[in-house]
Amino acid sequence: MSYNSETGIISAPVSIDDVKRALGESSNDLATLCKSENINIWSRYKPISCKGDFKEYPIREDSDEKATSSYNNYACVVRCGMNIPIDTYKNLRYNYGGEGFAINACEFFYVDNVYGANGGIHDNTTTSVSGKHFPKGGANSPYRLSDFRNYNSKAKSNIFLTSLPILTSVEIYYSSTHKLNCVLYMNANVGTNTNLTMDDIIPDLSLAWSLWVQIRYESPYNVNDTIYKNYYVGNCKKPTDFVYVSKEITFDITGDKKIDIVPFLADVRNGYLYDNSKIIFISPPGSIYFSYYPRQINMERIKSGSSDFVYFSELRELVGGTCICIARIHKLPDATFTIKDGTFRSVCGYGNNKITYGRGYMSNSSGQGAYSVTVPKGDRTDYVDVYIRFDNVYEGGYYGQMCQLSFEINIDGEWKQVPPGGTYIMH
Protein backbone atom coordinates (compact mmCIF):
# COMPACT_ATOMS: atom_id res chain seq x y z
CA MET A 1 0.00 0.00 0.00
CA SER A 2 1.26 3.47 -0.84
CA TYR A 3 -0.67 5.49 1.74
CA ASN A 4 1.27 6.40 4.89
CA SER A 5 -1.26 7.04 7.64
CA GLU A 6 1.36 8.70 9.85
CA THR A 7 2.45 11.33 7.32
CA GLY A 8 -0.90 11.42 5.49
CA ILE A 9 0.85 11.21 2.11
CA ILE A 10 0.05 8.96 -0.83
CA SER A 11 3.14 7.88 -2.76
CA ALA A 12 3.30 6.42 -6.28
CA PRO A 13 2.05 4.08 -7.50
CA VAL A 14 -1.43 5.22 -6.45
CA SER A 15 -4.32 2.79 -6.11
CA ILE A 16 -8.03 3.27 -5.51
CA ASP A 17 -7.58 1.66 -2.09
CA ASP A 18 -4.89 4.21 -1.20
CA VAL A 19 -7.26 7.07 -2.02
CA LYS A 20 -10.16 5.48 -0.13
CA ARG A 21 -8.02 5.15 2.98
CA ALA A 22 -6.66 8.69 2.73
CA LEU A 23 -10.12 10.20 2.24
CA GLY A 24 -12.09 7.88 4.50
CA GLU A 25 -14.39 7.02 1.60
CA SER A 26 -15.96 3.67 0.75
CA SER A 27 -16.68 4.21 -2.95
CA ASN A 28 -14.51 2.61 -5.63
CA ASP A 29 -15.70 5.12 -8.24
CA LEU A 30 -12.88 7.41 -9.40
CA ALA A 31 -15.20 10.33 -10.16
CA THR A 32 -16.71 10.11 -6.68
CA LEU A 33 -13.26 10.07 -5.08
CA CYS A 34 -12.03 13.03 -7.19
CA LYS A 35 -15.01 15.08 -6.00
CA SER A 36 -14.99 14.02 -2.35
CA GLU A 37 -15.58 16.78 0.16
CA ASN A 38 -13.07 14.93 2.36
CA ILE A 39 -10.25 16.05 0.09
CA ASN A 40 -7.88 18.33 2.00
CA ILE A 41 -7.92 21.37 -0.28
CA TRP A 42 -4.62 22.64 1.17
CA SER A 43 -2.73 19.66 -0.19
CA ARG A 44 -0.47 20.82 -3.00
CA TYR A 45 -1.31 17.70 -5.00
CA LYS A 46 -4.97 16.72 -5.48
CA PRO A 47 -7.56 16.44 -8.26
CA ILE A 48 -8.03 19.77 -10.04
CA SER A 49 -9.65 20.92 -13.24
CA CYS A 50 -6.95 20.55 -15.88
CA LYS A 51 -6.91 19.28 -19.47
CA GLY A 52 -5.12 16.17 -20.65
CA ASP A 53 -3.20 13.45 -18.89
CA PHE A 54 -1.48 13.67 -15.53
CA LYS A 55 1.11 16.42 -15.28
CA GLU A 56 4.08 16.25 -12.96
CA TYR A 57 3.13 19.43 -11.13
CA PRO A 58 -0.57 20.15 -11.68
CA ILE A 59 -0.74 22.48 -8.68
CA ARG A 60 -3.07 25.00 -10.34
CA GLU A 61 -5.84 24.84 -12.87
CA ASP A 62 -4.86 25.49 -16.47
CA SER A 63 -7.47 28.28 -16.82
CA ASP A 64 -8.95 30.96 -14.57
CA GLU A 65 -12.44 29.74 -13.76
CA LYS A 66 -14.73 32.45 -12.43
CA ALA A 67 -16.93 31.97 -9.36
CA THR A 68 -18.99 33.93 -6.83
CA SER A 69 -18.64 33.40 -3.09
CA SER A 70 -21.65 32.20 -1.12
CA TYR A 71 -22.08 34.89 1.55
CA ASN A 72 -20.58 38.18 0.43
CA ASN A 73 -20.99 37.48 -3.27
CA TYR A 74 -17.33 38.25 -3.94
CA ALA A 75 -16.12 37.89 -7.49
CA CYS A 76 -13.62 35.03 -7.26
CA VAL A 77 -11.25 33.05 -9.42
CA VAL A 78 -10.75 29.35 -8.79
CA ARG A 79 -7.13 28.61 -7.98
CA CYS A 80 -5.74 25.39 -6.51
CA GLY A 81 -9.30 24.17 -6.04
CA MET A 82 -10.57 27.07 -3.94
CA ASN A 83 -12.28 30.45 -4.27
CA ILE A 84 -9.88 33.39 -4.19
CA PRO A 85 -11.70 36.74 -3.76
CA ILE A 86 -10.20 39.00 -6.42
CA ASP A 87 -11.71 41.96 -8.24
CA THR A 88 -10.82 45.39 -9.58
CA TYR A 89 -10.60 48.47 -7.39
CA LYS A 90 -13.37 50.07 -9.45
CA ASN A 91 -15.77 47.14 -9.05
CA LEU A 92 -15.11 46.79 -5.34
CA ARG A 93 -15.83 50.46 -4.70
CA TYR A 94 -19.07 50.14 -6.64
CA ASN A 95 -20.19 46.93 -4.95
CA TYR A 96 -19.08 47.47 -1.35
CA GLY A 97 -19.70 51.01 -0.21
CA GLY A 98 -17.36 53.31 -2.12
CA GLU A 99 -14.29 54.43 -0.23
CA GLY A 100 -14.95 51.92 2.56
CA PHE A 101 -14.93 48.97 0.18
CA ALA A 102 -12.37 46.83 2.04
CA ILE A 103 -13.70 47.03 5.59
CA ASN A 104 -17.32 46.87 4.47
CA ALA A 105 -16.69 43.89 2.19
CA CYS A 106 -14.59 41.98 4.74
CA GLU A 107 -16.89 42.39 7.73
CA PHE A 108 -18.27 38.85 7.22
CA PHE A 109 -15.23 37.47 5.42
CA TYR A 110 -14.90 34.69 8.00
CA VAL A 111 -18.29 33.10 7.17
CA ASP A 112 -17.69 32.96 3.42
CA ASN A 113 -16.56 29.96 1.36
CA VAL A 114 -13.20 31.38 0.33
CA TYR A 115 -9.72 29.85 0.63
CA GLY A 116 -11.23 26.35 0.77
CA ALA A 117 -13.49 26.92 3.76
CA ASN A 118 -17.17 26.06 3.85
CA GLY A 119 -19.35 29.16 3.90
CA GLY A 120 -22.81 30.34 4.74
CA ILE A 121 -25.63 32.11 2.96
CA HIS A 122 -27.34 35.33 4.01
CA ASP A 123 -30.41 34.72 6.19
CA ASN A 124 -29.74 30.96 6.22
CA THR A 125 -28.19 29.51 9.35
CA THR A 126 -28.48 25.85 8.37
CA THR A 127 -27.00 25.64 4.87
CA SER A 128 -23.24 25.17 4.50
CA VAL A 129 -21.75 25.84 1.07
CA SER A 130 -18.55 24.10 -0.01
CA GLY A 131 -15.57 26.25 -0.87
CA LYS A 132 -13.85 23.47 -2.84
CA HIS A 133 -13.67 22.97 -6.61
CA PHE A 134 -12.97 19.62 -8.29
CA PRO A 135 -12.66 18.19 -11.80
CA LYS A 136 -15.91 18.12 -13.73
CA GLY A 137 -15.24 15.19 -16.03
CA GLY A 138 -14.78 15.18 -19.80
CA ALA A 139 -11.83 15.98 -21.99
CA ASN A 140 -11.28 19.48 -20.54
CA SER A 141 -11.48 18.39 -16.90
CA PRO A 142 -10.95 14.63 -16.58
CA TYR A 143 -10.79 12.54 -13.42
CA ARG A 144 -7.22 11.25 -12.95
CA LEU A 145 -6.19 8.77 -10.28
CA SER A 146 -2.62 10.02 -10.68
CA ASP A 147 -3.65 13.45 -9.34
CA PHE A 148 -3.51 11.84 -5.89
CA ARG A 149 0.21 11.16 -6.14
CA ASN A 150 1.87 13.01 -3.20
CA TYR A 151 -1.58 13.98 -1.88
CA ASN A 152 -1.29 15.10 1.75
CA SER A 153 -4.34 14.40 3.91
CA LYS A 154 -2.71 16.30 6.80
CA ALA A 155 -2.00 19.55 4.94
CA LYS A 156 -2.70 22.69 6.95
CA SER A 157 -4.49 25.89 6.07
CA ASN A 158 -1.77 28.24 4.92
CA ILE A 159 -3.47 31.56 4.25
CA PHE A 160 -1.54 34.78 4.88
CA LEU A 161 -0.80 35.83 8.44
CA THR A 162 -0.46 39.49 9.46
CA SER A 163 0.44 41.47 12.55
CA LEU A 164 -3.02 43.08 12.53
CA PRO A 165 -5.82 42.13 14.92
CA ILE A 166 -8.51 39.85 13.47
CA LEU A 167 -12.06 39.92 14.85
CA THR A 168 -10.71 41.43 18.06
CA SER A 169 -9.63 44.78 19.48
CA VAL A 170 -6.19 45.68 20.82
CA GLU A 171 -4.94 48.81 22.58
CA ILE A 172 -1.79 50.55 21.38
CA TYR A 173 -0.18 53.39 23.31
CA TYR A 174 1.46 56.26 21.49
CA SER A 175 3.42 59.28 22.67
CA SER A 176 3.75 61.42 19.56
CA THR A 177 2.34 59.70 16.48
CA HIS A 178 -0.05 56.84 15.76
CA LYS A 179 2.22 54.06 14.49
CA LEU A 180 1.91 50.36 13.86
CA ASN A 181 4.31 47.76 12.50
CA CYS A 182 2.48 46.00 9.67
CA VAL A 183 3.87 42.57 8.78
CA LEU A 184 2.73 40.05 6.17
CA TYR A 185 4.25 36.65 6.78
CA MET A 186 3.85 32.95 6.11
CA ASN A 187 3.21 30.23 8.66
CA ALA A 188 6.58 28.93 9.82
CA ASN A 189 4.99 25.70 11.07
CA VAL A 190 3.74 24.53 7.66
CA GLY A 191 5.93 22.47 5.35
CA THR A 192 5.95 23.43 1.69
CA ASN A 193 6.78 20.19 -0.12
CA THR A 194 3.24 18.79 -0.18
CA ASN A 195 1.36 21.73 1.41
CA LEU A 196 0.00 24.61 -0.63
CA THR A 197 1.45 28.07 -0.03
CA MET A 198 0.12 31.47 -1.00
CA ASP A 199 2.93 31.63 -3.56
CA ASP A 200 1.31 28.64 -5.29
CA ILE A 201 -2.05 30.43 -5.37
CA ILE A 202 -0.55 33.80 -6.38
CA PRO A 203 2.62 32.85 -8.32
CA ASP A 204 3.56 36.48 -9.07
CA LEU A 205 3.03 37.54 -5.46
CA SER A 206 6.61 38.69 -4.88
CA LEU A 207 6.91 40.37 -8.26
CA ALA A 208 3.65 42.24 -8.76
CA TRP A 209 1.70 42.59 -5.51
CA SER A 210 1.84 44.88 -2.48
CA LEU A 211 0.30 44.99 0.98
CA TRP A 212 -2.22 47.67 1.96
CA VAL A 213 -4.41 48.40 4.95
CA GLN A 214 -7.67 50.30 5.16
CA ILE A 215 -8.84 51.99 8.35
CA ARG A 216 -12.20 53.39 9.43
CA TYR A 217 -13.01 55.78 12.27
CA GLU A 218 -15.69 58.23 13.26
CA SER A 219 -15.16 61.88 12.33
CA PRO A 220 -14.33 64.11 15.32
CA TYR A 221 -16.38 66.88 13.70
CA ASN A 222 -19.57 65.05 12.77
CA VAL A 223 -20.79 61.98 14.68
CA ASN A 224 -22.66 60.83 11.61
CA ASP A 225 -19.59 60.95 9.35
CA THR A 226 -17.29 57.95 8.91
CA ILE A 227 -13.77 58.43 7.58
CA TYR A 228 -11.91 55.80 5.55
CA LYS A 229 -8.24 55.87 4.59
CA ASN A 230 -6.00 53.49 2.63
CA TYR A 231 -2.33 53.05 3.51
CA TYR A 232 0.30 51.49 1.27
CA VAL A 233 2.55 49.30 3.42
CA GLY A 234 5.03 48.04 0.84
CA ASN A 235 5.82 45.64 -1.99
CA CYS A 236 5.80 41.92 -1.37
CA LYS A 237 9.16 40.24 -1.81
CA LYS A 238 10.45 36.71 -1.66
CA PRO A 239 10.04 35.92 2.04
CA THR A 240 13.05 36.35 4.28
CA ASP A 241 12.58 34.56 7.61
CA PHE A 242 9.00 33.90 6.43
CA VAL A 243 8.25 37.65 6.03
CA TYR A 244 6.92 39.03 2.72
CA VAL A 245 6.80 42.67 3.79
CA SER A 246 7.30 44.54 7.05
CA LYS A 247 7.05 48.26 7.63
CA GLU A 248 6.12 50.60 10.44
CA ILE A 249 3.42 52.88 9.08
CA THR A 250 2.29 56.18 10.55
CA PHE A 251 -1.40 57.03 10.46
CA ASP A 252 -2.31 60.65 9.74
CA ILE A 253 -4.94 60.86 12.49
CA THR A 254 -5.02 62.87 15.69
CA GLY A 255 -6.06 62.21 19.26
CA ASP A 256 -7.23 59.01 20.89
CA LYS A 257 -8.94 56.95 18.23
CA LYS A 258 -10.61 53.60 17.81
CA ILE A 259 -10.02 52.46 14.26
CA ASP A 260 -11.22 49.42 12.37
CA ILE A 261 -8.46 48.01 10.20
CA VAL A 262 -8.19 45.34 7.51
CA PRO A 263 -5.32 44.28 5.18
CA PHE A 264 -5.60 43.57 1.48
CA LEU A 265 -3.32 42.89 -1.47
CA ALA A 266 -3.15 45.00 -4.66
CA ASP A 267 -1.31 44.28 -7.90
CA VAL A 268 0.57 47.56 -7.84
CA ARG A 269 4.16 48.29 -6.87
CA ASN A 270 3.67 51.86 -5.68
CA GLY A 271 1.34 53.86 -3.48
CA TYR A 272 -1.46 54.30 -6.03
CA LEU A 273 -4.65 52.33 -6.68
CA TYR A 274 -6.13 52.61 -10.17
CA ASP A 275 -9.60 51.62 -11.39
CA ASN A 276 -8.21 48.48 -13.03
CA SER A 277 -5.94 47.55 -10.13
CA LYS A 278 -6.73 44.05 -8.90
CA ILE A 279 -7.33 43.53 -5.19
CA ILE A 280 -7.37 40.33 -3.15
CA PHE A 281 -9.03 40.14 0.26
CA ILE A 282 -7.11 38.05 2.79
CA SER A 283 -8.59 38.69 6.24
CA PRO A 284 -11.56 39.93 8.23
CA PRO A 285 -11.07 43.27 10.01
CA GLY A 286 -10.07 43.92 13.60
CA SER A 287 -9.84 47.13 15.60
CA ILE A 288 -7.17 49.16 17.34
CA TYR A 289 -7.65 51.72 20.08
CA PHE A 290 -4.86 54.28 20.11
CA SER A 291 -4.34 55.69 23.62
CA TYR A 292 -2.08 58.64 24.27
CA TYR A 293 0.50 58.62 27.02
CA PRO A 294 2.83 61.59 27.40
CA ARG A 295 6.56 61.46 27.76
CA GLN A 296 7.31 62.27 31.37
CA ILE A 297 9.65 65.29 31.55
CA ASN A 298 10.50 67.11 34.75
CA MET A 299 12.98 69.68 35.93
CA GLU A 300 14.68 67.89 38.81
CA ARG A 301 17.15 70.47 40.16
CA ILE A 302 18.23 74.08 39.61
CA LYS A 303 21.31 76.16 40.40
CA SER A 304 21.98 79.87 39.98
CA GLY A 305 25.03 81.88 40.94
CA SER A 306 27.22 80.03 43.45
CA SER A 307 24.52 77.68 44.69
CA ASP A 308 24.66 73.93 44.27
CA PHE A 309 21.91 72.05 42.47
CA VAL A 310 18.88 72.14 44.75
CA TYR A 311 15.15 71.49 44.54
CA PHE A 312 13.24 74.38 43.03
CA SER A 313 11.54 75.11 46.35
CA GLU A 314 14.94 75.51 48.05
CA LEU A 315 16.37 78.17 45.71
CA ARG A 316 15.90 81.76 46.89
CA GLU A 317 17.56 83.98 44.28
CA LEU A 318 18.20 84.06 40.54
CA VAL A 319 21.62 85.56 40.02
CA GLY A 320 22.41 87.49 36.85
CA GLY A 321 19.34 86.21 35.02
CA THR A 322 21.05 82.85 34.48
CA CYS A 323 20.41 79.36 35.79
CA ILE A 324 21.25 75.73 35.02
CA CYS A 325 18.64 73.01 35.34
CA ILE A 326 18.74 69.24 35.33
CA ALA A 327 15.96 68.01 33.06
CA ARG A 328 14.90 64.40 33.60
CA ILE A 329 13.46 62.89 30.41
CA HIS A 330 11.91 59.42 30.57
CA LYS A 331 12.30 56.92 27.75
CA LEU A 332 9.40 55.62 25.70
CA PRO A 333 9.08 52.28 23.94
CA ASP A 334 7.92 53.80 20.65
CA ALA A 335 10.03 56.91 20.08
CA THR A 336 13.47 58.42 20.52
CA PHE A 337 13.80 62.11 21.37
CA THR A 338 16.66 64.49 20.60
CA ILE A 339 17.41 67.47 22.86
CA LYS A 340 19.35 70.39 21.39
CA ASP A 341 19.76 74.14 21.81
CA GLY A 342 16.34 75.76 21.73
CA THR A 343 14.37 72.64 22.67
CA PHE A 344 13.72 74.15 26.13
CA ARG A 345 12.89 77.71 27.05
CA SER A 346 12.35 79.54 30.32
CA VAL A 347 9.24 81.65 30.93
CA CYS A 348 9.71 84.40 33.49
CA GLY A 349 6.90 86.65 34.70
CA TYR A 350 7.70 89.83 36.66
CA GLY A 351 7.00 93.55 36.84
CA ASN A 352 3.66 94.75 35.45
CA ASN A 353 2.64 91.70 33.38
CA LYS A 354 6.15 91.46 31.95
CA ILE A 355 7.03 88.11 30.33
CA THR A 356 10.51 87.17 29.12
CA TYR A 357 11.40 83.96 27.27
CA GLY A 358 14.93 82.65 27.70
CA ARG A 359 16.47 80.21 25.23
CA GLY A 360 17.76 76.94 26.67
CA TYR A 361 21.21 75.69 25.70
CA MET A 362 22.67 72.22 26.08
CA SER A 363 25.44 72.30 28.68
CA ASN A 364 27.29 70.37 31.33
CA SER A 365 26.92 70.80 35.10
CA SER A 366 29.16 73.89 34.96
CA GLY A 367 27.14 75.58 32.22
CA GLN A 368 29.64 74.92 29.45
CA GLY A 369 28.30 74.16 25.98
CA ALA A 370 27.57 70.57 24.98
CA TYR A 371 26.27 68.65 21.99
CA SER A 372 22.73 67.46 21.50
CA VAL A 373 21.52 64.40 23.39
CA THR A 374 19.21 61.71 22.01
CA VAL A 375 17.02 59.90 24.52
CA PRO A 376 16.78 56.32 23.20
CA LYS A 377 13.77 54.06 23.24
CA GLY A 378 13.30 52.11 26.43
CA ASP A 379 11.16 51.31 29.39
CA ARG A 380 9.16 54.26 30.71
CA THR A 381 10.67 53.79 34.16
CA ASP A 382 14.14 54.55 32.78
CA TYR A 383 15.32 58.10 32.02
CA VAL A 384 18.11 60.37 30.88
CA ASP A 385 19.23 63.48 32.79
CA VAL A 386 20.49 66.44 30.74
CA TYR A 387 21.82 69.86 31.76
CA ILE A 388 20.15 72.93 30.28
CA ARG A 389 21.54 76.47 30.72
CA PHE A 390 19.17 79.44 30.48
CA ASP A 391 20.61 82.90 29.83
CA ASN A 392 18.75 86.23 29.87
CA VAL A 393 15.96 84.75 31.96
CA TYR A 394 14.81 88.30 32.73
CA GLU A 395 15.72 91.82 31.68
CA GLY A 396 17.77 94.25 33.77
CA GLY A 397 16.25 97.01 35.89
CA TYR A 398 14.05 94.74 37.99
CA TYR A 399 16.62 93.61 40.54
CA GLY A 400 15.24 92.94 44.01
CA GLN A 401 11.78 92.20 42.68
CA MET A 402 10.09 88.83 42.69
CA CYS A 403 9.66 86.74 39.54
CA GLN A 404 7.72 83.61 38.67
CA LEU A 405 9.88 81.14 36.72
CA SER A 406 8.62 78.16 34.73
CA PHE A 407 9.87 76.10 31.79
CA GLU A 408 8.55 74.78 28.50
CA ILE A 409 9.67 72.24 25.93
CA ASN A 410 9.01 72.19 22.21
CA ILE A 411 7.42 68.85 21.26
CA ASP A 412 5.92 68.33 17.80
CA GLY A 413 6.00 72.08 17.14
CA GLU A 414 4.15 73.04 20.31
CA TRP A 415 5.43 74.48 23.58
CA LYS A 416 4.32 72.47 26.60
CA GLN A 417 5.01 73.25 30.23
CA VAL A 418 7.61 71.23 32.11
CA PRO A 419 7.11 71.17 35.89
CA PRO A 420 8.07 72.45 38.34
CA GLY A 421 9.05 76.12 38.65
CA GLY A 422 9.39 78.60 41.43
CA THR A 423 9.21 82.16 42.76
CA TYR A 424 12.56 83.91 43.20
CA ILE A 425 14.20 87.25 43.93
CA MET A 426 15.92 88.70 40.89
CA HIS A 427 19.47 89.44 42.01
Give residue-wise pLDDT tens across range 6-45. Answer: 999 999 899 999 999 999 999 999 999 999 999 999 999 9
Topology of domain 161-292 in CATH is Immunoglobulin-like (2.60.40)
Q: Tell me how far the alpha carbon of residue 1 is from its chain's centroid.
A: 48
Is-contact 162 283, C-beta < 8 A? yes
Residue 38 buriedness (CB in 10 A; 0-12 / 13-18 / 19+): exposed
Report d(CA 14, CA 27) in Å as an integer.
Answer: 16
Q: What amino acid is encoded at 92 in this protein?
A: L
Domain chopping of the chain, boundaries = 3-148, 161-292, 297-426
Residue 330 near residue 347, CB atoms below 8 Å? no
pTM for the complete prediction?
Answer: 0.75
Report residues of the chain scoring pLDDT below 70. Answer: 1, 54-58, 223
Task: Give me the half-sphere count of Cα atoms (radius 13 Å) on the Cβ side of residue 59.
Answer: 16
Preceding amide of 263 cis, omega within 30: no
CA distances from 228 to 90, 164, 251, 287, 291 (A): 16, 17, 12, 13, 20
Which of the four CATH numbers 2.50.20, 1.20.1730, 3.90.1070, 2.60.40 does domain 297-426 have?
2.60.40
Percent of the chain, pLDDT > 90? Answer: 71
pLDDT of 183:
93
How far, in Å, CA of 235 to CA of 108, rounded?
27
pLDDT for residue 56: 62
Q: Do domains 161-292 and 297-426 have the same CATH topology?
A: yes
Quick one: what percent of the chain has pLDDT higher than 70? 98
